Amino acid sequence: MTTDLTQASAAQLGRLYRKGKASPVETMKAVLARADRLATTINALCHVDKKAALAAARASEKRWKNGEPLSPLDGVPVSIKELVRVKGWPASMGSKLTDKTPVDADAPAVARLREAGAIVFAQSASSEYGHKGVTDSPLHGITRNPWNTGMTPGGSSGGAGAAVAAGLGPIAIGTDGGGSVRIPASFNGLIGLKATFGRVPAWPPSMTGDLSNTGPMARTALDAALMMNAIARPDPRDGYALPPDDTDYTKKLATLPKKLKIGFALRFGDHPLDIEVAAMVTKAARDFEALGCTVEEVEPPFSFGEASRAFVIHWLSALQRLLQVFPEERHGEFDPSLLAGAKAGLRYSLQDVVNAQVTRRDLTLVWNLFFAKYDLLLTPTVAVQPFEAGTNLPPGPDGKPNFMWSPYTPQFNLTRHPAATVPCGLSRLGLPVGLQIASAHYNDALVLRAAAAYADAHPLSFPVLPETK
């Protein structure tokens, strides 16, 4: 076997298994060995279950030899963000304060992936309680970007993004409450999907409520579609789960409908925008015209300031609950930025929260009307390139911290619309830049189809990292 199995996509692995040219055991051993060698280089995985992974790989190998795989994902290694429960592993939440007792049940996405035969082998690092768009925590330290280890992989699903980009399993599960799948997918050159809220069942409920979504992160749209075929199945533990629609996401990737009407917005308001990001995303939007689509520049149909304030109120008023969950004498163990955010959340009045809910409803309405006119919306995924690891904010044009570096993603957590990111190339610094694709509610398959059409025409080669023990 000469193929580097750590660099194969999930779909490629399935084809190799079917032809007998590779085995799940070979793949799992290769990924585990690479995870060992890269552990200190990127710090993406905070728990690796080698014994269980190899046992699952041997069981998968038998199924493939008998011609009875459970799905195309059978024998494919997958990492799970530490905010998502895995039976037998601690629900650490990236926090020193949580009880590290192993949990007794899988979250829905984990259960569905196991049923598909995927090998749940590792837990990926997150920021504490997923509270920020980078990945470092008091519990696990700093996670780094495989494209440049001096840079952040984004967050809060940064461990998942770094793992997939580094060849530590071709697919991963992340969560997205304000962009936490899409930001690290963009910073790591991946495809990441935040589906319509409720399409991917989740349990237990997130602290941030119906802002949060569980979603796939992968190197290819086909792999993300394979994941959606598994994880979009219903689970009775999620009271907000959508009814099953029997969509085969892989079949929906076949062709992009012609004559799609696409809106393109370069800015969502008065915020800084990296000049290379602007140029690359503008070119990507124009490339959709070569795919047979009509692309029009549009103005966002909302007040950026009002929408941003509504999101911040939703987010911080949720974080303040941590101050009641944990005793005050332990609050100093929180990440300082989490503690500051939680305390800020205490300052909002009941009227502030109600007003934010009204703004959220209004925002959803105007985007619904927008998507009644346009099939898709294209924007940058993030307004900046990956920045220094270990910092919470990039510098702005004035040298001061840039608090508005991710204006595009939270909108669709508020409105519950599906949105994905697809890589649209590398900057002059060799860092990935992402294009966000959004659409109307329940158009998850169309969003992935558009991502696939663009990615197939603009493939990305992933970095080869120097490995250290």
Cross-strand pairs, 172: 79, 217
CB under 8 Å, gap of 24 or more: what pairs does 28-31 form?
28/53, 28/54, 28/56, 28/57, 28/75, 28/77, 28/119, 28/121, 29/54, 29/57, 30/4, 30/5, 30/6, 31/5, 31/6, 31/77, 31/121, 31/167, 31/168, 31/169
> CA–CA separation, 186 vs 451, rounded Å?
13
List, for the chain, all residue ranges whose pLDDT scores fall below the cut of 70.
1-2, 466-469
* Two structure tokens written together for 387: 């920045």
Question: Checking DSSP bridges between strand 213-218 and strand 171-176, what pairing results, if any?
Answer: antiparallel
The domain locations on the chain are 6-457
> CA–CA separation, 118 vs 23, rounded Å?
13
* Two structure tokens written together for 436: 């966000």
Among residues 407, 367, 450, 345, the alpha carbon closest in space to that of 179 is found at: 407
CA 151 to chain centre: 18
Q: CATH second-level architecture of 6-457?
A: Alpha-Beta Complex (3.90)
> CA–CA separation, 311 vs 414, rounded Å?
7
> CA–CA separation, 183 vs 420, rounded Å?
10
Among residues 125, 197, 189, the alpha carbon closest in space to that of 157 is found at: 125
pLDDT of residue 466: 63
SS3 349: coil
pLDDT of residue 469: 42
pLDDT of residue 468: 47
Active site residues: 81, 156, 180
CB under 8 Å, gap of 24 or more: what pairs does 102-107 form?
107/202, 107/203, 107/204, 107/214
> Cβ contacts of residue 78 below 8 Å, gap of 6+?
113, 118, 119, 120, 121, 169, 171, 172, 173
SS3 49: coil
177 φ/ψ angles, rounded to the nearest 5 degrees: -105, -15
pLDDT of residue 451: 97
pLDDT, one tens digit per residue, over 147-168 is: 999 999 999 999 999 999 999 9
pLDDT of residue 463: 85
* Two structure tokens written together for 345: 């959340």
> CA–CA separation, 182 vs 187, rounded Å?
9
In this prediction the pTM is 0.97
